[in-house]
């Protein structure tokens, strides 16, 4: 494409700008943007009416600088300063007419806009690519650690240092209100929630934290080092979980256990079991440790003890209304009126049902000894029936 008549004056000033950038290159190291910026501007001003033809060169330079770790603001500042300085010098040396100055100013602004957009877009693409590569490497490593196959060679290959000890976090992510909104796309709302959470992870737990998450939960591995300077003392705490909850705009529930790296598969299973238990206990959102539910955890481990506890409620299986009455009675703190309100029956009916429960099971849910047995039996029953 050749220049139109209206471009002739612009080309004259642009050609002078190109000559300026070709002759005024400072000595610069290859990793510095100054020389490359002037090369790009010399080429762009040489054929301003065909600027799009120079786009691959502009983008290629920007991608190279991004990979070398040169900040975007450094590159954009170099472009702006070079264009401003070159324009001022050319105008000062040649005293262009008003028409030429106006046309040249328009050309410079158009070029500056194009260079800024192209460079910024190239940097953004490179950062997205680097983020995807890091995410893939991190997911590869966390999957290997959770399966017990993490090793030094894999860590070197992914470029992520493996700690000797980790906090293993089992995380439960509830649905966002938008996921229940019939006017919203459920999957889109869920993915947005997850992206917000993942974006917040690095800022509160550091770049070495590893996660394997879906829209409803997953596992997070937080490195624990002897020297806090390595991780900045970052850890999963109640306060950290609050920050993540705010980012995801939902109330998160999590359990955490800590141990050596070679035990991560067992620790992950323990944290997941602990999370199931906390859910079965109807605890509110928040962060839980083993100490918070140690008695319940021990009493409800798979085995003869849990089977015995769950079997205590087998006589109630043909009578679901009795099982729900027992659950409501315990949930309301043994309040018969509140239980009756929840069950939508008369208070006298609750007394009758409690006596039937005692006859069928052998324990009185209103007596101190029966309360403990009923609570543990109901918990064991729920865990046994949870898929």
User: pLDDT of 151-184, one tens digit each?
Assistant: 655 555 655 677 889 999 999 999 999 888 888 7
Of all helices (H) and strands (E), which one includes residue 214?
A: strand 210-214
**What local confidence, expressed as pLDDT, does residue 304 receive?**
78
As a whole number of angstroms, the distance between CA 13 and CA 21 comes to: 13
- pLDDT tens for 17-55 read 777 777 765 544 444 577 777 777 777 766 554 455 567
219-261-276 Cα angle (round to 5) = 35
Q: Alpha-carbon distance 26 to 38, whole Å?
A: 9
Alpha-carbon span 5 to 9, nearest angstrom: 8
Minimal CA–CA distance to 79: which of 95, 61, 92, 96?
Answer: 61
CA distance 21 to 11: 15
**Ramachandran region, residue 217 (left: φ > 0; alpha: ψ -120 to 50; beta: rest):** left
Q: What is the pLDDT of residue 231?
A: 45
Sheet holding 165-172, edge to edge: 210-214, 217-224, 165-172, 253-260, 286-288
The predicted structure's pLDDT at residue 9? 47
Per residue, the 3-state secondary structure of 295-347, as one string, reads HHHHHCCCCHHHHHHHHCCHHHCCCHHHHHHHHHHHHCCCCHHHHHHHHCCCH
What is the pLDDT at residue 220?
Answer: 93
Q: Give the sign of the dihedral formed by CA 189, CA 190, CA 195, CA 197.
A: positive
**What is the per-residue pLDDT across 239-281, written as a single tens digit (0 to 9) for each?**
999 999 999 999 999 999 999 988 999 999 999 999 998 998 8
Going along the chain from its start, the domains and CATH numbers come out as: 5-129 (1.10.490), 163-299 (3.30.70.270), 304-385 (1.10.10.2840)
- Measured in residues, the chain has a length of 387
Query: Which three-class secondary structure state does DSSP give residue 37?
Result: helix
Which two structure tokens, joined as six digits, stand for 307? 């089977």
Helix (H) or strand (E) holding 212: strand 210-214
Q: If residue 77 lies in a helix (H) or strand (E), which one and from where to where? A: helix 72-94
pLDDT score recorded for residue 8: 46
Residues 172 and 234: their CA atoms lie apart, in Å, by 21
CA dihedral 16, 20, 22, 28 (to 10 degrees): -160
Helices (H) then strands (E): counts for the chain? 16, 5
Q: From residue 1, give the alpha-carbon distance in Å to each of 13, 110, 340.
A: 19, 18, 85
Please say whether the beta carbons of 237 and 168 come within 8 A.
Answer: no
The segments of the chain whose pLDDT lies below 70 read 1-14, 24-32, 45-54, 129-138, 150-160, 226-233, 386-387
d(CA 369, CA 289): 27
Instruction: Give one DSSP letter per residue of 188-211, joined into a string.
Output: HHHHHHHHHHHHHHHHHH-TT-EE
pLDDT of residue 24: 63
> Measuring CA to CA, which residue among 362, 363, 340, 367 is closest to residue 351?
340
Residue 155, pLDDT score? 57
* 106, 98 Cβ separation under 8 angstroms: no
């Amino acid at each position: 494409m050749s220049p139109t008549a209206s471009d002739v004056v612009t080309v004259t000033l642009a050609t002078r700008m190109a000559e300026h950038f070709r002759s005024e290159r400072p000595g610069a190291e290859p990793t510095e943007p100054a020389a490359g910026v002037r090369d790009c501007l010399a080429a762009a001003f040489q054929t301003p009416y065909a600027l799009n033809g120079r786009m691959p060169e502009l983008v290629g330079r920007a991608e190279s600088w991004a990979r070398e770790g040169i900040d975007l603001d450094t590159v954009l500042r170099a472009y702006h300063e070079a264009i401003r300085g070159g324009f001022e010098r050319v105008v000062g040396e040649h005293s262009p007419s008003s028409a030429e100055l106006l046309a040249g100013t328009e050309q410079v602004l158009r070029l500056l806009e194009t260079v800024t957009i192209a460079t910024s877009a190239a940097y953004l693409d490179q950062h997205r690519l680097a983020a995807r590569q890091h995410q893939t490497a991190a997911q590869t490593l966390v999957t290997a650690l959770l399966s017990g196959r993490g090793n030094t060679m894999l860590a070197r290959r992914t470029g992520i240092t493996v700690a000797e000890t980790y906090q293993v976090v089992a995380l439960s992510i509830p649905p966002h209100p938008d996921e229940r909104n019939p006017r919203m796309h459920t999957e889109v709302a869920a993915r947005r929630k997850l992206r917000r959470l993942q974006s917040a992870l690095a800022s509160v737990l550091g770049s070495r934290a590893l996660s394997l998450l879906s829209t409803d939960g997953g596992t997070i591995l937080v490195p624990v080092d002897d020297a806090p300077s390595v991780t900045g003392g970052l850890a999963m705490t109640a306060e950290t979980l609050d920050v993540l909850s705010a980012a995801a705009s939902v109330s998160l529930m999590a359990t955490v256990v800590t141990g050596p790296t070679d035990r991560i598969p067992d620790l992950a299973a323990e944290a997941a079991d602990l999370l199931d238990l906390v859910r079965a206990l109807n605890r509110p959102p928040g962060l839980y440790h083993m100490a918070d539910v140690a008695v319940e955890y021990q009493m409800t481990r798979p085995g003869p003890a849990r089977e015995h506890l769950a079997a205590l409620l087998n006589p109630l299986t043909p009578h679901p209304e009795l099982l729900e009455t027992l659950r409501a009675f315990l949930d309301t703190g043994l309040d018969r009126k509140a239980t009756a309100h929840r069950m939508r029956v008369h208070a006298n009916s609750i007394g009758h049902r409690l006596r039937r429960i005692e006859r069928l099971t052998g324990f009185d849910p209103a007596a101190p000894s029966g309360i403990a047995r009923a609570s543990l039996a109901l918990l064991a029953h729920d865990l046994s029936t949870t898929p």
